[in-house]
Amino acid sequence: MSEKFQILYTTMKSKRIVTVAIIYLLLLVPVIYVLAQKYTVETVPNVRLRDASAYITDPNKLLDDDEYFELNSLLGALRDSLNIETAVVVLPSIEMDEYGSAREFANKLFNRWGLGDNELNNGLLILLITNEGEREIVFETGKGTEQVLTDGISKLIQTNEMVPWLKDGEYGKGLIAGVKEISKVIEGTSGLEEPAPKKRNYWPVIIYLVAGLIIIVAIDASRKSKVASSESPYKAAVNYDSLKGAGCVAAILFLPQFIIYFIYKEIAKETGKPAIDCEKCREKGTVKVTGEPVVKQQAIPGQDGMKEYKFVCSKCGFTHHELIPYAYVKPNTTSSSSSGTTVRSDSSSGGSWGGGSSGGGGASTRF
């Protein structure tokens, strides 16, 4: 008899364990569903479509009832008294694979719903994401709202008034504190102030530009002066290249200044070739190469050609002709045919993107 009783007891105990396990799993399923559910802009329910007095979208019941009604009352007052139409959206998670950030999600949701008056653009969206690893509070403002609720003030409200509550999971209290501070900002009674922008120090940039320009001019002038004292000044003048050696390094280090110097020389109509001293009148730096060189002997593979350059003194008119060898350059034989090339062109029938109600302003803070 005792053996049968033992078997019966064991069977009943096993059934009880299975029953408890099933109940536990049934209770756990909604929690797992909430944690796993990820929303897109299209799947967020718009509560205003069924209740004109509702301002809060909380599909997963993440807010307590008392906090929900208090927050909704504050949002109603914000609209009726201060003319700011605000929607609060509380979600466990969003599809981050579809959106680059929570700010982007908020911007798209704002424009999809069309928050605020279409002329005043007085809308405000407060988005709260609660899942671990994604927790973030986001403000998205219309152009009109942004004039008062600036990006800097939005950030201060989040960090000073809301995040301390939100970190502890007190989502309702955090949202209520934030909306109360927003009301104070709109009324002009808030104690929050944006930090004064730091004055930018432009002296390092100015010193860099001036020093670089001086260095480039000095290098160019120094190299040009060496041309006149060379054994063959005419040849040195023709072969002069300001971008060789130190000039090349300076051009890389001080590219903006080099471009400015190059433009100046173009405006001043300088050839870029250095001037040399005149053999006749003995004036310094008055002889320059003029015109295009004349090919006297064509270069061929394995043999240099000869070009004749004309030099003229701007003081006395002295003229000198100098033959300068030049190397053979293999001609480019690449076909210039454009057959088979796909050309992209503007279509006269193209459309355009439409505008939205969001001004792109706001702020976000992860916690």
Hey, which residues does 306 pair with through a beta bridge?
A: 297, 325
Task: Name the token pair of 160.
Answer: 């000073």
Q: What is the pLDDT of residues 38-68, one digit of tens each?
A: 999 999 999 988 898 999 999 999 999 999 9
Q: What is the pLDDT of residues 190-240, one digit of tens each?
A: 988 877 667 788 888 899 889 888 888 887 777 777 776 778 888 888 887
Residue 168 in domain: yes
> Are residue 105 and residue 174 in the same domain, yes or no?
yes
Please report, as a single letter, which amino acid is at residue 68.
Y
Q: What is the pLDDT of residues 325-350, one digit of tens each?
A: 988 887 765 544 444 443 333 444 43
Which of helix, strand or coil describes residue 364?
strand
Q: What is the rounded average pLDDT of the residues 126-143?
A: 95
Residue 289 in domain: yes
Number of Cβ atoms within 10 Å of the Cβ of 248: 13
> Are residue 246 and residue 284 in the same domain, yes or no?
no
> Are residue 191 and residue 111 in the same domain, yes or no?
yes
Residue 78 in domain: yes
> Are residue 51 and residue 185 in the same domain, yes or no?
yes
The answer to whether the CB of 79 falls within 8 A of the CB of 85 is yes
Which of helix, strand or coil describes residue 360?
strand
**How far is 150 from 89, CA to CA, in rounded Å?**
20
Which of 151, 169, 195 finishes a domain? 195
Q: In degrees to the nearest 10, what's the CA dihedral of 247, 253, 259, 264? A: -60
pLDDT for 248 equals 76
pLDDT for 226 equals 72
pLDDT for 62 equals 95
Residue 361 in domain: no
How would you classify the pairing of strands 319-326 and 305-313?
A: antiparallel
> Are residue 207 and residue 282 in the same domain, yes or no?
no
> Are residue 116 and residue 168 in the same domain, yes or no?
yes
Which of 238, 257, 272 finishes a domain? 272
> Are residue 160 and residue 187 in the same domain, yes or no?
yes
> Are residue 268 and residue 282 in the same domain, yes or no?
no
Match 């730096």 to its residue by tokens.
285
Q: What is the pLDDT of residues 66-90, one digit of tens each?
A: 999 999 999 999 999 999 999 999 9
Hey, which residues does 361 pair with through a beta bridge?
A: 141
pLDDT cut 70: percent of the chain above it: 77
Residue 25 in domain: no
358 has pLDDT over 60: yes
Q: Which residue has the higher pLDDT, 114 or 12?
A: 114
pLDDT for 354 equals 27
Q: Which residue has the higher pLDDT, 263 or 366?
A: 366
pLDDT for 13 equals 60
Number of structural domains found in the chain: 3
DSSP helix, strand, coil percent of the chain (3-state; round to 5): 45, 20, 40
> Are residue 169 and residue 216 in the same domain, yes or no?
no
Residue 179 in domain: yes
Q: What is the pLDDT of residues 23-37, one digit of tens each?
A: 555 554 454 444 558
**CATH number of the domain where residue 189 is located:** 3.10.310.50
Render 286-345 in DSSP notation, one character per residue.
-EEEEEEEEEEE--BTTB-EEEEEEEEETTT--EEEEEEEE---PPP------TT-----
Which of 252, 272, 292 finishes a domain? 272
Residue 344 in domain: no
Grade residue 356 by pLDDT with cuts at 50, 70 and 90.
very low
Q: Which residue has the higher pLDDT, 148 or 7?
A: 148
Task: Tell me the range of 15-24, 158-167, 305-314 where mean pLDDT is highest.
Answer: 158-167
Task: Name the token pair of 299.
Answer: 């270069």
> Are residue 65 and residue 166 in the same domain, yes or no?
yes
> Are residue 282 and residue 243 in the same domain, yes or no?
no
> Are residue 258 and residue 137 in the same domain, yes or no?
no
pLDDT for 215 equals 87
pLDDT for 110 equals 94
The answer to whether the CB of 125 falls within 8 A of the CB of 87 is yes
pLDDT for 160 equals 95
Q: Which structural domain, as residue segments, surrounds residue 139?
A: 47-195
**How far is 100 from 104, CA to CA, in rounded Å?**
6
